[in-house]
Structure 1
Amino acid sequence: MKTIDVTDSSQELPTDGSASQQIYMRRLREFTKDTFLEHENRASVVERTVNFIAEVLPVSYVIVGEIIKDAEECSIIGTYGLPPDTETIRGQRAIIMSLVCRDIISFTESNETDREMASALIGGYPVVSGISVPISIDGGGIGVLAVYSETDREFNESKVAFLNAMANVISISLMKPNIHPVVAQHTESVFQAKKDWESTIDVMPQLVIVLDKRANIVRVNRTIVSWGLGTVDSRLGHSVEDVIKPLITGVTRNYKIDWTHIWKGLQSDDFLEWESSPGSNINKSLRFSLRRLHENEKKFNTRNCFAVLVVDDISEQKTAEQTLKKYTNELEKKIRKRTNQLRLANNELRQELDEHTINKTALIESEERYNLLLQSSLAGICTINNENGKIDYCNDRFAYIFDYKKTHIIDRDLADFIYPEDMESLDTFIANIMNIAPMQLPVVVKGIRRNGEHVWIEIKLNLINLISEQTLLINIIDITEQKNTEITLRKSENRLHILSSQLIDAQENERKRLAYELHDGIGQWLSAIKFKIENVMDVHKTKLDDAGFEELTDVVGTIRETIEETRRISSDLRPSMLDDLGILVTINWFIRKFEGTYKSIKVNKVISLKEQDIIDYRKVVIYRVMQESMNNIAKHANASIIEIILEKIDDEIYFSIVDNGTGFDLNKSSMISLTDGSGTGLNSIRERAELTGGEFSIMSKMPGGTSIKIVWPVN
């Protein structure tokens, strides 16, 4: 038999699939089998284990100790390289043994304190390097396995793992008086795991490969045979690239996957996906999906299982996409032609499904739950027990959203994670799902995290029918960031409304100031100039010749027209009577002025309220809406009648302007400017109305005219 070379302390025990590794693994299996099945006495198990350690790791001393009473009384139950010593030890050696059984301790020549402790533990023999590992049962140290050398050696990770395995063998011998039941139990577990694999994975059409950390194949389903890539047993232990490379030959050259780089970035539950087109060796379009396994996954709970690679044949999907793209115009015809064939095929499939309904209920439920979890992996998922109303399952995302461990969520009420004020609406939502409509729109509520913080969540519920019962499936999505964005936008909108209001106020104040300056400033000066020229003409009438007198008369006429224009501009900017006499008088004045300008348009008015019924800042809005709307009607509507209504009904004030003109398309003219230069159109009117607490509406027909309406509450 070829021996394993471990004399070089820097050399790992073989784990690379080499012949040395196969010899080492065979010897380890033979040792474990012989030890468990042929040596029931714990003393013989310990002795055989000590000798096997000395054979694999050439060291000077091996010692196995058992703690009888912590720090007071211990027992040496096995040695190598030391005189037989089965007596009970006390004092300093018992204290040292109690200390070293708590953790893995490794030392070299430079660790003087550890060397002295090790030498004292084995009775004063010289020690230069060594390592000790605890022998544990249920997490508690019950003894120690130590190996020491008279030369300076380093103990790498593979040797530490080997010693831990040997410590577990000794632990079993100390824990159980008879090892056969343990072996039988583990053997049955292995057969059950194999049965589960064959009954679930082997029937899948995809190629499923379980990989270790070196990307070597640990398990593979029988699809590998149907795809012509070898047998199940022949591929075990081979690199996954030996299987993948034929699938992509002819598609990519110099194909090489950097598994080390992928492994570093691949976290638990992470997925990597890529696709390949048909190659020369296998005429299939394939999708590759790689997922790293959880350490606690029940389907693959061996230490060697690191990730799962699923290769799915998507040839039919690709062909369908190409066919759909090529024959879009003929799709309806083909559907009609294929309907009968599909009906026959469906009947055949239904018969086949009826023939395969002998699967166990537990297996079907497990598969449905697993598929739902895969399909909803980006959302938090939980299911509610139909009998007690408690959460009986949740995924990692659900636990992450509420910042709990999954074990702290199971068997709790959903209400424990929802704000109390939102539970009533959620209960109603659940009742509708259970009794009225199985599918409802999502509901948004506030959840409670473990630290008391709230999180906005969108909940969608589905009532799913399993074989044995109905189950309430809950999907949740964390929308806290979206809610915060909505709040920020709402605040921004409010600030814009305030800014717009301030801008309108500033505009009105500026108009008021300009109107005052024009009327009381420039207007007064022009009147004074006119008066002085007229006075000169009167005093010096005899001195002026006819030409001079006529020129001054023309100047006086020009000044008079300028005064009238100044008054008109002042009035358009802000009629002084609006502040002095009120809106009702101003409306009557504006209508008279409008009818005097546009004689072909008749203006009817209905006013049934008092001046004091209208708040001052709304009077400016009423005037501006009337001014801009009527000027626009005169210019663009080709109307003959305008009706103005201002009335108080109950606790509301109604203001409307209706014309019988040509109207316009609101969809195409939503930004039309209802202005003669003194306003900013529909948006300005709407904003003025809403900023003063009103509701703005507009209707227009082509032809038929336009109606603008604003409603304010009295207070």
Structure 2
Amino acid sequence: MKVDNVDVKALDKVVDKMIQTVDQSKDEIFNIGERCRQDYEAISLELEEVKKMFEQVIAEGEELEVKSRLARNRLSEVNKNFHQYTEEQVREAYEKAHEFHTKLQINHQVEKQLRDRRDELERRLRSLEHTIERAEHLVSQVSVVLNYLQTDFKQVGEMIKDAKEKKDFGLRIIEAQEEERKRLSREIHDGPAQMLANVLMRSDLIDRVYRERSPEEALKEIRSLKQMVRSALYEVRRIIYDLRPMALDDLGLIPTLKKYLQTIEEYHKGTKIHFTNYGLETRLPPNYEVALFRLIQESVQNALKHAQAHEIQVKVDIQNHQVTAVVKDDGKGFDPSVKQPGSFGIMGMKERVDLLEGELSIRSNIGVGTVVYIQVPLKK
């Protein structure tokens, strides 16, 4: 490829290769993050069970302490007045004292084991939580890059005349994304092993509950395990829907936004999301529907992840000549004049709006929330 004479076909091949590589990397990151999320759910359930068993052991230990003390006092009294008691009474006093002493020692050992197990599970949960957050952040960044490559970057060959500059830009994206993926893979390389260990541990717990307690309680544990699997399946479906909702192609922008925002609200229990459509509920050209959906999706995700908003308002107004979208939240806000580290999402939003010849403005102040205003003209 000559620098002064850009070969658009060769450039398209480079872009297609970039899209394929980034898409494969995104799938791998998603799978790794999903395994960690399943591990997190399983460990959370196990931790709750361990805490309940720990509280029970503590209560039993306190009761055994009282009984052991009484047994020792009884034994001391028998020893002092040995001639006043029969041989059977003396033997009974010794056996009782020994029995409660033994039970108390076993109780202390079980308590220590449960305490150690609880602390270990809590440490693992903190580590998994950090890893999941990193994975979600990375997937979000990679999604922006992938969407940019699939929709906007296809036109770069007609706008950029320097082929070397274009190629270096694409390679830098892949290199940075690959480096992040390697780092994430190193951090959670033992995810599958931990998942299998959790399953084994859970099965051992069910077996012990069946033997030591009752079949009914064992069935409760099995139902709990099934619920954990259902939760994992729900999470997989939610993420798949988030990656590419099929309803966008079948029903259009407004119905898809309604469903998407409802799903997000169900997943984020502490946040209320209000959606209002003021204009026409009509179909738009596919590239407009995809772009507007991604812009609103990115704005809502920013409000949830970064602004920690409790209430989000999404308003859309489709008219014959333009589309207006407003996303407002009551989160912690930020200073738009200060460049945020890792603000690749906002950069991607601006690029997408520019390609639609629209306008994007973000108004925010620390402590008073953020308003994202999007206006895109519709060409006849």
Common fold: TM-score over 0.5: no
Of structures 1 and 2, the one scoring higher in RCO (CA 8 A, sep 6+) is: 2
Q: Which TM-score band applies after superposition, normalised by the shorter structure?
A: 0.3 to 0.5
Higher helix proportion (structure 1 or 2) = 2
Give me the TM-score of the superposition, normalised by structure 1. 0.23
Considering only CA atoms, is the larger Rg found in Structure 1 or Structure 2?
1
